[in-house]
Structure formats: C-alpha cells, structure tokens
Amino acid sequence: MTSKEKDQKEDNLIATNRKAFHDYHILEHYEAGIELKGTEVKSCRAKSVTLTDSFVKIESGEAIMMNVHIAGYEHGNRFNHETKRPRRLLLHKREILKIASKIKERGLTVIPLRFYLKKGRVKVDLGIAKGKTLADKRDTMRKKQDDLETRRVISAYK
C-alpha cells in the first residue's frame, strides 16, 4: 500500500469505535452499507458520528444498528433526522443468517468498529466480538505498555 492510498483511507475515515477494541476480542469483520437519510449523510461527511455503546441487533431477517449518534446537520431545517434512531444495515441475506447463527450459538455480539466512505457511500465495518474479562483487559494494557517501552529504548539507541 502506497502512502497516497493510506492518505486516502485516512481521509475517508469518518469515525472509529476505540472502546470496542478495549472491551472486546474481535473475531470476524464484515462490511455493510447503511440506510441513511440525506441530512445523515451530510453529517457523516462532516465527521459528526459517535459509535460508543453502539451494537447491532438482528430482527426478522434484518440487521439493525442501535445507539449510533449521528449529530443533526447544521444547515438542516425541519427535515433534520433524529440523532439516535435505529438504522438498517445493508447486508446479503446469507451474511445476516451467518451472523445471527453465530450470535445465538456462542453468545457473541456484533458491534460497529468504524464508519468510512467508499466510492462516495457511507460504509460501516462490523465486528463479531466476544467480551473481554478484566484480566484480559489488564493483559492488553500490559502488552501495550511493554511495546511502548521497547520502542522508546530502541529509539534511544538510534
């Protein structure tokens, strides 16, 4: 991947759910489209999205994203959208069935990891996740701290 492609990916990134990587083990990733209203798309392009405490629910064969806060559009009028309304995800039927079976079998959950633009459309990266225990969280923090110290020592010798 060239630096130009990396810059384009960073420019297209709308929001990330950093808390998800702290609280969950991410087992699988899926890319989904989102059914949005016009003012929601404009707010997404302005990067006014918050993904904390959001999750995906499967109801009657549809994937619905809950608790995603997309701020109201500044220049919107009476046709502005609700900020935390449920939003339908656009996935193939077989993907929805596969996700639903994994959720029922193993007690996993589906959470949105990041919002981004792809070919002018808003997409969401979904992660099938398993909750971390307190010990897992401590181990993760310890590993990050060790990596940071290692990088500091290496940079000091260069």
Q: What is the rounded CA–CA span in Å between residue 92 and residue 98?
A: 10
Per-residue pLDDT band at 8 (split at 50, 70, 90): low
Contact 99, 110 (CB under 8 A): yes
Q: What are the pLDDT digits (tens) for 40-90?
A: 888 888 888 999 889 999 999 899 999 999 888 877 777 777 888 899 999
Q: Which residues of 131-149 are buried (b: 16+ CB within 10 A; e: fewer)?
A: ebeeeeeeeeeeeeeeeee
Q: What is the pLDDT of residue 3?
A: 55
Would the pTM count as exceeding 0.85?
A: no
Domain 3-132 top-level CATH class: mainly beta
Q: What is the rounded CA–CA span in Å between residue 84 and residue 68?
A: 6
pLDDT over 60 (residue 13): yes
- Percentage of residues in the chain having pLDDT higher than 90: 50
Q: What are the pLDDT digits (tens) for 140-151?
A: 889 999 999 999
Report the DSSP pairing between strands 109-118 and 13-16: antiparallel
